[in-house]
Structure 1
Amino acid sequence: MGLLTLKEDRPTPPCVYNYRVYCCATVAAFCAVMIGYDSAFIGGTLALNSFKKEFDWSQYSTSEANLINENIVSLYQAGAFFGSFFAYAVGHYLGRRRGLQIFSGVFILGAGLMLGANGDRGLGLIYGGRVLAGIGVGGASNLTPIYISELAPPAIRGRLVGLYEMGWQLGGVVGFWINYGVSTTMPENHSQWIIPFAVQLIPAGLMFIGLFFIKESPRWLMTRGKRDLALKNLCWIRKLDTDDMYMLEEVAAIDAGLEYQQSTVGLGFWQPFKSLWNDRKVMYRFFLGCSLFFWQNASGINAINYYSPTVFRSIGLTGTNTSLLTTGIFGVIKAVVTLIWLFFLIDNLGRRNLLMIGALGGSICLFYVGGYIAVAKPEENPSSTISSGGISAMAFFYLWTIFYTPSWNGTPWVINSEMFPQNVRTLGQAFAAASNWFFNFLVARFTQQMFTGMGYGVYFFFASLMLCSIVFVWFLIPETKGIPLESMDRLFSKDLPQRRAHKIVMAELAEDEESFRRNVEGSGLGLEKDEFGEKKAHVEVV
């Protein structure tokens, strides 16, 4: 078993892992580029002197300026919270692909509105534009992981959903370095701060255009009774004919899952709400999904993303350009580590192990950073150069980034995209995404006040919560890698310690696959081998 060896739920033709499935996932994942860019650029742009001069920042006291900063940042998260729920209705009636187009269009409208702000008009257009942009990314953050998980082969589902996280980090890198670039190469004028706002339109426009060239989710089409189009799309994505054994098995699993849901809960708009209310097992999964994003934000990542200049000043770095440069390096490290997570870790090491290892290593690093600030008090002893202790604190901060990024940064999105049944998947992802934006909002709204009131205690606070998250994962989160979407009910219904459920379900799936093949081969359907040596059954999928 090498680092790139895939753990398959059943024998899979190599053509299934083709460029088409990667292209569809990449286009959908562009919404994360929009999110990552915003989280990276907004704090640095608000710290630019050109922005402060245009909107006469000198008229405000420190507490008033902090409040305005927090309002500008957090209105985006507030809009995203509601956008996550709007996406449930859009995704249910209009589909994943069209829903993504609608929300990318809303984002473009909001981003364009922000460009009309200036000193004469005030901050109103920025406030309104950020609410609209938030609604757009909130809806897209709901639909993108669902869309990708529904078209992904199980063995690379983590990798494909992980493209969402990769897009987030790429957007972050651009956002960090855009701020550094305009601050060092442009005069302090209107153009210097408006350019970072304008760059938001690029990933949103690319996503909107790209969505015209990819296919709708076959599983969603099945739920809407569009079977012929669903099979056509699935064959295109898999590069297989309908009579291929792999296709027979996948379609049979989808049919069985839909039939079970139809007979127990139903596939209508309100049925998922009834299922949530009446089925404790479904409610439990909703609880797990929302809790994962609480623990993600409890790591402190969004406090660092949105207010990185404040974080680096607390360690002892001085000067806007120095803080922006250090923040840019932080973004590059996250992007590089995300690539390693994407291709080597998420579908091999697994979700549970990543979360626990990342939490343990990350908490140790934050305890060190907080301890350094408590002892050295760098903000009370300013210096033009950073001390050796400050350098060590920076090293541990970057080490924290290496632990956090391949664990809590993207893994909660992967788990939430795959663990819900088909009939509640959009609603489940809506609750999960909304919880992410809710906790994100709280962090964005109160981080400045936390640093003012708690000082180094902020680092101890987040480090302690990361340790608590290990207990949560160990007892409550099962491993989901390699489990087909239609078999997630088995995984979460096992009355076993969660650390053992994955192994048992994978063994059951292997037995089921062998039984299915024996039944097909013994039914007189005349299995033959095609030119690639794959067995094919001459039977129409029903």
Structure 2
Amino acid sequence: MPHSTSKASKSGVTLPPLRPGPHQRRMDVVAVVATFGGLLFGYDTGVLNGALEPMKQDLALNSVTEGLVVSSLLIGAAIGSLVVGRMSDSLGRKKTLTILATIFLVGTLGTVFAPTLGIMIPARLVLGFAVGGASVAVPVYLSELAPTERRGTLGGRNELAIVVGQMLAFVFNAVIAGLWGHHEGVWRYMLAVCALPAIALFLGMLRMPETPRWLISKGRHDEALAVLMQVRTKDRARAEMAEVEHLAEEEVEAQTGGITDLAIPWVRRIMLAAVIIAVAQQFTGINSVMYYGTELLQIAGFSDNAAPIANVSLGVMAVIGGSICLFVLIDRIPRRKIIITGLVGTTLCHGLIVLASALLPDGKFRASTILALVALLVLVIQITLNVPVWVCLSELFPLRMRGFGMGVSVLVLWLANALVAQSFPTLVSIGGITGTYGTFFVLGAIFSFLTWKTLPNTSGRSLEELEESFMQGDFR
């Protein structure tokens, strides 16, 4: 891990460099426990990729109710992302994550034991609420505890945990289907696996600290310093306390905190940037692959038996790409540059998929080429977009409206996710792979331009420095 040098923030406080020691190991443990929320997020969104087919038979699903089972989790996630943003501002980041772990477990048990569609849909909504809540609470929790120099790496672990969860869902589905595929209700075994990380998150969060920035926002300064002493050296902890306290005083004067602040031009500017990158990430079509990857590969030309196996390779590529971003790029290249490069790269991948689908004759070569290009698309998205976008969203907003800002932007992200998930089968039935990825190509070009025009860079500065820069109109 690179060592930093001392520097003065815009508040006039000099931050001593990071040094190795027990405090860094403690920070790593905190990150591991919190990212169980990301693992749950990933598993719950990926598990239906293999569980849906046997579920359709047991619950007598048709095309409409099948879509409801998929989209109900996303609708619940949209609600959870908005509600939990405010909840975390009120109750605290730690308590919110503990509550979400309980909701994850309740939702999981509801889906596992659902006897009918009438029980399954509400259970999926509950589970989705927890998924959406985790998508807000975990990045904020990590960004507020991480030191500036490691914020990208530690915050990005959540996105890596998400894709690991999705890959594990694909792998466990294949293994469970191979071992117990002849059992009635085998899909229930696939869904039940999610209970284990939910229990781990609940027990782990009981021993984790609250974030010092939230404690300071509530006037609990002694507790905040005690937390910082756990994850920083003593001199660094006191310097960060002074920096955050300085900014907290300015925020009281500015009266930031919620929807009324959208009347302030600089707040409106960063909210627009957050919404644009949230929608842009989903309009890459990444979740059309994660939700419908098996079906997509069957349309491309793979057999019913070969498609689920080939689908696992897409999950593996997602983990490889996320790992490259997290451990090689995220704290070395500015967030803005990575995201814009990623949007351009994914748009080019869409164009290549369109050409392969339109020009190559049906057969194994066409199917293999489309698989390779979709795998490349997943790799580019994971290297350049998924980790940086989530980290960037957790960094853009000022302290007292961070939960609200994350809630709104992630709500929009989940609604865009639901739109893609709902429209993908229709797009494929009307235009096939060519028309579907042609649509993604056009959207990619539009959002590449919008992101270039609106997104400031958030890396290399503390959250407090970023906020002071935005307040002064500096969006470089």
What is the TM-score normalised by the length of structure 1? Answer: 0.82
Structure 2 CA distance for partners of 1:28 and 1:396, relative to 1, 3 Å: same
The one-letter amino acid of 1:291's match is: I
- Residue 419 (structure 2) aligns with: 442
Is 1:102 paired with 2:102? no
1:177-256 correspondence to structure 2 within 5 Å: 177-238=171-232, 240-241=233-234, 244=235, 246-256=236-246
TM-superposed deviation, 1:274: 2.5
Q: What is the CA distance between 1:255 and its match in structure 2?
A: 0.9
Whether the aligned pair in 1 keeps the contact of 2:300 and 2:366 (CA below 8 Å) is no
Aligned residue for 1:291? 276
Between 433-442 and 368-377, report the one with greater CA deviation.
368-377
Q: Which residue pairs with 1:509 in the alignment? A: none
Q: Which residue identity does 1:228 align to in structure 2?
A: D
Q: SS at 1:159's partner residue?
A: helix
Which residue does 2:110 correspond to in 1? 113
Q: Which amino acid in the other structure matches residue 340 of structure 1?
A: I
- Pair 1:264 & 2:254 matched: yes
Closer, same or farther: CA 310–295 of 1 in aligned 2, 3 Å: same
Pick aligned residue for 1:33 from 39, 64, 68: 39
Matched, 1:462 2:440: yes
Give the whole-Å Cα distance in 1 for the aligned partners of 2:372 and 2:191: 31
When the two structures are aligned, how many residues end up with a matched partner?
A: 466
Instruction: Choose the corresponding residue for 1:273, options 259, 273, 298.
Output: 259
> What displacement does 1:454 show?
2.0
Pairing partner for 1:145 from 126, 136, 139: 139
Matched ranges for 1:376-395 at <5 A: 376=360, 378=362, 386-395=363-372
Distance 2:446 2:117 in 1: 40
Distance 1:9 1:306 in 2: 46
Q: Quote how far apart the aligned CAs of 1:235 are.
A: 0.7
CA distance in structure 2 between the aligned counterparts of 1:9 and 1:491, rounded to whole angstroms: 20
1:182, distance to aligned residue in structure 2 (A): 2.2
TM-fit CA distance, 1:12: 0.9
After superposition, the C-alpha distances for 1:148-205 in whole angstroms (9 at most, x for unaligned) are 1111111110111101101101101110111211222323332421111101111111
Structure showing the higher helix proportion among its residues: 2
Determine which of 126, 130, 135 is the counterpart of 2:129: 135
Cross-structure match for 2:11:
none
Q: Which residue of 2 aligns with 1:12?
A: 17
2:290 corresponds to 1:313? no
Instruction: Please name the residue that 1:354 is paired with.
Output: 338
Q: Distance in 2 between matches of 1:128 and 1:348?
A: 43
- How many Å separate the matches in 2 of 1:298 and 1:9? 40
Is the contact made by 2:172 and 2:190 (CA closer than 8 Å) also made in structure 1?
A: yes
Q: CA deviation at 1:29?
A: 1.5
**C-alpha displacement at 1:470, in angstroms?**
2.4
> Greater CA radius of gyration, 1 or 2?
1
1:179 maps to a residue whose letter is N
1:303 pairs with 265, 288, 293, which one? Answer: 288
Partner AA of 1:13 in structure 2: L
Task: Indicate conservation of the 8 Å contact 1:293/1:436, yes or no.
Answer: yes
Given candidates 145, 149, 157, the residue that maps to 2:151 is 157
Distance in 1 (CA, whole Å) between partners of 2:208 and 2:375 is 38
Quote the Cα distance in structure 1 between the aligned partners of 2:17 and 2:218.
27
Matched, 1:323 2:329: no
Q: Deviations over 1:310-359 (max 9, x none)?
A: 2112221121x311111111101111221111111011022122112222
Task: Render the CA deviation track for 1:80-114: whole Å, top value 9, x for unaligned.
Answer: 11111221332122100001111121121111111
Find the aligned partners of 1:412 and 1:494 in 2 and give their Cα distance. 24
> By how many angstroms is 1:20 displaced?
1.1
CA 1:351–1:7 in 2, change beyond 3 Å: closer, same or farther?
A: farther
TM-score, structure 2 normalization: 0.93
Residues 9, 483 of structure 1: 8 Å contact kept: no
Q: How do 1:42-121 and structure 2 match up within 5 A? A: 42-47=48-53, 50-56=54-60, 65-117=62-114, 121=115
Change (3 A) 1:140 1:56: closer
Tell me if structure 2 keeps the 8 A contact 1:217–1:230: yes
Note the alpha carbon deviations across 1:10-56, whole angstroms, 9 max, x for none: 34131377111121122112111111112221122112xx3333234
- Given the alignment, which residue of 294, 304, 321 partners 1:337? 321
Q: In 1, are the aligned partners of 2:320 and 2:379 still within 8 Å (CA)?
A: no
Over residues 485-533 of structure 1, what are the superposed CA-to-partner deviations in whole Å (9 max), with x where a residue is unaligned? 001124435656x5xx2xxxxxxxxxxxxxxxxxxxxxxxxxxxxxxxx
Q: Distance in 2 between matches of 1:165 and 1:309?
A: 22
Q: Which residue of 1 aligns with 2:374?
A: 397
Cα offsets for 1:258-299 (capped at 9, x unmatched):
000011216xxxx423222x3121122112112111101110
The 3-state SS of whatever aligns with 1:12 is coil
SS in 1 for 2:323: helix
Distance 1:187 1:485, change over 3 A: closer
Cα-to-partner distance string for 1:111-137 (whole Å, 9 max, x where unaligned): 1111212xxx32222111100011112
Q: Equivalents in 2 of 1:356, 1:377: separation in Å?
A: 34
Distance across 2 between alignment mates of 1:153 and 1:198: 36
C-alpha contact (below 8 Å) 1:9/1:484 kept by paired residues: no
Q: RMSD between aligned alpha carbons?
A: 1.9
